[in-house]
Structure 1
């Protein structure tokens, strides 16, 4: 789940077309509190605003068998009540001070976010510290755990079970990651979520919600030393539980062993779509290979100037859109995807034939140096321009460190991606989409009789 509750403060992220990317004067600093909590500070003095995030190194991948959805449910519970904060008081305080708050759960981590005026930073730390150690969980049917369990069940009905595209993606990813801890969607299975107990929640809280398993990221109108003093005074007083052993359920993702086809039909579908999911790579496990794949996919189907878009949308006029992308940002390998939607009168079989014919043609011909240079520069510039957004940077630092990466990984990204050669980019794409590589084909179609 990702929630955004907004008071009077709006985040702004922008890109300036044609501008010269400049990362001068950008100086993140990191340190570790005595209790093991990691801290990253990114000064940004353009406005008297700060983004404050706490990341916990726990996600859906860490759930026990039969308890899917617990990490995500717990994210909900964290907003409810503590020993010193009444129901929903956390949210009320942030809103009353003109701020935003947010939270989200991934397979790999859980993160909590506040963006406020600078004078409110210490208060945000106090709020997060309070729910890190004093969260209230009980078996009251109207209490924080059981009531939010019902909210999550309804969320699943509204956001997944009522969305044909999400249903199809869940089915595909479950097959793609079959046997891997990523197999079950983050929101969990409905029957397993319904069985989660307050005791499950308390055990989860005691094990994972501890300072030595947390990362504090502060981006905004601050200096590292003032954040250090404040963090030591607020978070540094929290004793580590000692229950976090650092082990995670991450594992290599095996290659698909056969081709599969999953079709989902629904009366709500108005635009059919087709896609293929192949085994990709992750930046954590093979950073250079992931960058090479990202560059190659940018050339192949990364936008309106890409090879596939020009051939299938502009020239052949057989598709209304086509793109390629890869999930390289997880700890373990995600899929590399080719996706397209047909124009009226073109069947999905015809679209598939045309798309794959063009893919094979491009892989045989290779890329030009100019195409790869343009793709490299686009990815590098996007990363640098993203530094104009406090929330984007807070997310970048938090997610990178939660996955075991470093600040240097972020700082070095523009140079590292620019270092990818034409030969490396085409080789990465050829390997992922090779004729002997298996895939899952996914088709989203209107229900019978609705076409």
Structure 2
């Protein structure tokens, strides 16, 4: 039985300086989520400055003209709240969940960073956070098993100069090259109110909350916004392949297919396809590779909600004694059967029910809901997608999934990476 549909009351307003405001009142708990998303990510970085959007996210927690260094964390946590920030290909977000009576605190902190950050950044802070990010790259990428797999896949899947070709963490030489004037330029070009969306979810009265937003953000002037990068279509020319030696025990195989972007009408259908392939023990890939043939210890499939190009991944880790080549063959056999053999009615019904349950569950918390609304507003231009998505999944039919299986799971749209033990590579 499918879960009940979802519907949230959204109220939208744009300030005179261009700041887009989306409010979703909910009095079910005495909390408020303050979520500010800037329309800038790693795809906006220029050559020689990869990783700069992520470095900048770190810097924004280092104080401003009015907030001392590290005080952002202390003020929010002392008020009983939580906070964080993240960077991705297409956006950078900063968010707090606070007791409802602390709405002004969240608005003040975010408006202060937007309006009064630039003068607070010093060479010392830049050098400190540069070292923090470089250490993060060492720990989470270079010295972690399979940690360099994604950036290797991207480097082979896209041609030189493509905005999605490099990882969000950036490359070491580019991080070393970042200068203080680069920080100031990045702030001026990307962190104006007219390049941001503010989402409020929680226990507040909308008219009063909008007055507080106007009070904190209204006097920040709009600024020129950098031109959006030109994003070429996915390259053609057939399958691309790479092998990466790593300090790992078991081979892992990555298959990345170029697929529909987040705003494409087929995005939900591709997402349903990946759920059918790997969601649950009875899914195609897990049933065949993990339980029947026992060639994989684990396997997953997913599609990413990116703004300008889509990416569909299948990732499988081998069992002992199974080579990367054997595992890839087994994965591709399942995908070929998916392309050629069609979808069972019962199989699809269960998949769509699980997808809609996950969708509803992902909107339950105020913070998660604010995040989903912000992503829909910024990457799709439509915050109401959080209300429409449930229906979109409900209208997916077998011919839709079979069609995207034939078009997306096409070997000519594929990049393959084998991550193998270093001795095997040699």
TM interval, shorter chain, is: over 0.9
What is the deviation of 1:265? 2.2
Equivalent residue number for residue 270 of structure 1: 249
1:342 aligns with 2:342: no
Equivalent residue number for residue 293 of structure 2: 316
Equivalent residue number for residue 395 of structure 1: 371
CA contact (8 A) 1:81 1:89 kept: yes
What is the deviation of 1:127? 1.3
SS of 1:27's partner is coil
CA contact (8 A) 1:126 1:234 kept: yes
Select 1:133's aligned residue among 90, 98, 115: 115
Q: Quick one: distance in 2 between partners of 1:19 and 1:356? A: 31
CA contact (8 A) 2:253 2:417 kept: yes
Q: How does 1:18-167 map to 2 (within 5 A)?
A: 20-23=3-6, 26-137=8-119, 140-142=122-124, 144-167=125-148
Equivalent residue number for residue 416 of structure 1: 392
Q: Single out whichever of 383-392 and 119-128 deviates more from structure 2.
A: 383-392
TM-score, normalisation: structure 2: 0.94
Equivalent residue number for residue 417 of structure 2: 442
Q: Which runs of 5+ in 2 are unaligned?
A: none
Q: Quick one: distance in 2 between partners of 1:344 and 1:146? A: 44
Per-residue CA shift, 1:404-437, capped at 9, x if unaligned? Answer: 42122221111111111100101101111235x2
CA contact (8 A) 1:67 1:193 kept: yes
Q: Which runs of 5+ in 1 are unaligned?
A: 1-17
Q: Quick one: distance in 1 between partners of 2:65 and 2:379? A: 31
Select 1:433's aligned residue among 409, 418, 422: 409
After superposition, the Cα gap between the structure-2 partners of 1:141 and 1:42, relative to the gap in structure 1 and judged at 3 Å, is same
Select 1:182's aligned residue among 164, 167, 171: 164
Per-residue CA shift, 1:177-225, capped at 9, x if unaligned? Answer: 2231111211211111111111111111122211111111111112322
TM-score, normalisation: structure 1: 0.89
Q: Quick one: distance in 2 between partners of 1:308 and 1:404? A: 31
After superposition, the Cα gap between the structure-2 partners of 1:54 and 1:140, relative to the gap in structure 1 and judged at 3 Å, is closer
What is the deviation of 1:141? 4.4
Select 1:281's aligned residue among 237, 253, 260: 260
Task: Give the number of equivalent residue pairs.
Answer: 425
Equivalent residue number for residue 359 of structure 2: 383
CA contact (8 A) 1:61 1:248 kept: no
SS of 1:344's partner is coil
RMSD: 2.2
CA contact (8 A) 1:137 1:201 kept: no
Q: How does 1:286-305 map to 2 (within 5 A)?
A: 286=264, 288-305=265-282
Per-residue CA shift, 1:54-95, capped at 9, x if unaligned? Answer: 111111222222222221111111111211222212222112
Equivalent residue number for residue 332 of structure 1: 308
